[in-house]
Amino acid sequence: MNPRNRIARRAAEYFSAGDVVNLGIGIPSLCSDYAEPGVMFHTENGLVGMGPLASGIQAVEGFSNATAMRFVPVPGASAFDSAESFALVRSGKLAASVLGGLQVSATGDLANWAQPGRVFGMGGAMDLVNGARKVIITMELCTRDGQPKIVNTCSYPLTGQRCVDHIVTEQCVIDVTRDGLMLVELLEGLTPDDIQRQVEPRLLISSRLKTLQP
């Protein structure tokens, strides 16, 4: 399994049957393939009930998410306009939102929509990080040139402050707690020191540190 799918599979473990969950662009969009039955996925362009990503004759233009990826709707799916969709987001009824990240700070601030020379677009992220009951960030631990994405203070424009609950990467899982960032899962073969060298904040180590499945 490649690292992106491994991240998505681990993030999907936070979902339970009956949850309504929003999935963002990129790695988050893969989570629907790993969720247990009964999880309902929300797309901010106006649908609850987004199923697995579609291919072949199942790929119908009318069932596309906010990033134009086509999917198979599940039984009981409901479509509505974007105003109702964002009313749902702001109501606090979303169990979780899964988003990509450019930077996450030591206090759980998130930057995920712009960096110098590159703007990805805000989309509904500001609403999602404030409206969802749980915010899960899925991303590689470092940039392609080896720079940390988990930083003391975000240098990119913020999406939200103190909004992140969990950070899922290809090497580890980190929880944002009142006391700081806590390493709770670690890929087999790595040590806490291996992770610490790749992030800026000093990590707390869980007394129940688990092995992240490869």
pLDDT at 54 over 90: no
- 110-111, strands of its sheet edge to edge: 110-111, 103-105, 150-151
Between 65 and 186, residue with greater pLDDT: 186
What's the pTM value of the predicted model, to 2 decimals? 0.93
Model pLDDT, residue 25: 84
C-alpha 13: how far from its chain's center?
12
90-124 pLDDT per residue, tens = 999 999 999 999 999 999 999 999 988 887 777 78
Between 20 and 115, residue with greater pLDDT: 20
The closest of 81, 41, 85, 47 to 64, measured between CA atoms, is: 47
pLDDT at 207 over 90: yes
Token representation of residue 183: 């390493």
Catalytic residue positions? 44
Measured CA to CA, the distance from residue 58 to residue 72 in angstroms comes to 7
93-124 burial, b at 16+ Cβ within 10 Å, e below that, comes to ebbbbbbbbbbbbbbbbbbbbbeeeeeeeebb
Torsion, Cα 137 140 141 144, to 10 degrees, reads: -140
Model pLDDT, residue 59: 76
Domains and CATH numbers, the chain: 3-44+81-212 (3.40.1080.10)
74-91 pLDDT per residue, tens = 888 898 988 999 999 999
The closest of 12, 18, 84 to 47, measured between CA atoms, is: 84
Measured CA to CA, the distance from residue 210 to residue 214 in angstroms comes to 12
